[in-house]
Structure 1
């Protein structure tokens, strides 16, 4: 048994969720991948996959083994890169998925500089707020905002994500400034309808660190951050929004940040991509470019925010 080929086959099947999808990714036959995984299971003396006519899932042992195998294969790739075997010029078509608001505001202005730096890359970017399956839909990578769900994807942090509860000065003049999260229960709020439950906002007690949930009255719910920003600017209500969306408004004073000590700052802006071996130079180039452009102190953060 070719152990490395078997490990590569198992990792590909685990990440793709089917032998057929893994075979397409590796350019091997489905029967060959099935035989290699079966040989690996026989050598280990354990079952790594549950196989049925409808689904293919990892066993508990398979999940644990896959985590270790993915790390080993990634280290092998890094070793190859370190000796220059895979330092080919980035080229080819790069398919990227990105959320709409962040994509329009911050990715789109960056694309001309990226394409100028890498003239042999053709970029195909899909901007929407739908969660995409990178493997099944054929994307090379995605930019994702917030906390990452557990998955086999490789994640590279591009920038911090700072959430801000904000309102217009006119709104605060009319309704008063909230001093604690409990004050929000009496104020008109703006809800992001992609979150659930829609009427509960989560804060944290800065003294004890305990969660401080608040049931709010959402006068308006929208599944788009740009629409919530416009409503907040118009004085319709209070809105929790990311600083990459409202940083200039906060700097200009057209929006005011509220209850900062009570906000739980979780997650970040990441690039995620399947753990392919070897990692494509075009994917590495794009991820490095975005990390360089945004960084730990992104340009959209207002000067009043601490590092």
Structure 2
């Protein structure tokens, strides 16, 4: 008995509802279909299907066995697809969720290069700072920034570490003074990025110690671009990824503070569902992300 063939025949008989229908679907003779099921039952020492001249039905053992057989055969098909995916031309619709500012600052200008490289891929890039459910919402990949990525059953690939900086406009520091140590932040109007893992408490370290400082201010907002706008307007100071304000710091539009302290760092990850094999369109986009963020 060819075990895989017998399992496929058994599954087809159940799904098609009769030996005759399975015979037609598989292109096998009715005798061959019956023989495969009988040999499988002999191998298992259990009757799987009750059959009469008019109808068939699964036994209790057959019903339990059928559920496992479907799972096993589907897993085998997926395993075959894993290898094929690695060898096939990347193609199809790729759905990606990514945070707004990290994408606009660090990635979006390179997207046309990726699409030119893989002309058979179409990209649906959803910019949203909320944490999407990849499986339920049908995304292939999501980019996530986090101090401590939760164990969510997803595969995570670190792309880069985003260094943070405390900064403000020169006009704000002229009026309120610069903080000389992290504890001084309690006396400042701190603009808070509300979606951050460290929105209410900023942590710093230097060669001698580490400190976490509760912060407060009149403005909390769920967009880092809005934080940057408030900084430029001289409204307060904030802790923000340096890459978001690099041009402002270089031009003097914003000034850094507490530079002898190392503040929070946020890692940027690409995450994707572990229950799926990595098809070629996902694999090449992951490679592209590493290329853009790690160079």
Asked if Structure 1 and Structure 2 have the same fold, meaning a TM-score greater than 0.5 normalized by the shorter chain, the answer is yes
In structure 1, the residue matched to 2:251 is 252
The 5 Å alignment of 1:14-53 reads: 35=68
Determine helix, strand or coil for the equivalent of 2:173. Answer: helix
In structure 2, the residue matched to 1:93 is 93
CA–CA separation in structure 1 for the residues paired with 2:196 and 2:234:
22
CA–CA separation in structure 2 for the residues paired with 1:225 and 1:144:
14
CA–CA separation in structure 1 for the residues paired with 2:162 and 2:263:
11
The 5 Å alignment of 1:141-290 reads: 141-147=141-147, 148-195=149-196, 200-210=200-210, 212-290=211-289
Unaligned segments of structure 2, at least 5 residues = 5-63, 73-78
CA–CA separation in structure 2 for the residues paired with 1:195 and 1:265:
11
| Matched residue count | 227
Determine helix, strand or coil for the equivalent of 2:212. Answer: strand
In structure 2, the residue matched to 1:300 is none
CA contact (8 A) 1:202 1:213 kept: yes
Kindly provide the CA deviation profile for residues 117-159 of structure 1, in whole angstroms up to 9, marking residues without a partner as x.
0000011111111111111111000111123211221112222
Alpha-carbon distance, 1:294 to partner: 2.0
Unaligned segments of structure 1, at least 5 residues = 3-30, 40-75, 297-307
Question: Which structure has the bigger radius of gyration?
Answer: 2
Compared CA separation, residues 197 and 141, structure 1 to 2 (3 A): closer
CA–CA separation in structure 1 for the residues paired with 2:132 and 2:242:
24
Compared CA separation, residues 207 and 104, structure 1 to 2 (3 A): closer
CA–CA separation in structure 2 for the residues paired with 1:214 and 1:137:
37
Determine helix, strand or coil for the equivalent of 2:107. Answer: helix
Kindly provide the CA deviation profile for residues 160-210 of structure 1, in whole angstroms up to 9, marking residues without a partner as x.
211111111121122111110111111221112234785x32223424443
Determine helix, strand or coil for the equivalent of 1:173. Answer: helix
CA–CA separation in structure 2 for the residues paired with 1:196 and 1:272:
18
In structure 2, the residue matched to 1:15 is none
- RMSD over aligned Cα, in angstroms? 3.0
Alpha-carbon distance, 1:277 to partner: 5.0
Kindly provide the CA deviation profile for residues 22-77 of structure 1, in whole angstroms up to 9, marking residues without a partner as x.
xxxxxxxxx889536999xxxxxxxxxxxxxxxxxxxxxxxxxxxxxxxxxxxx89
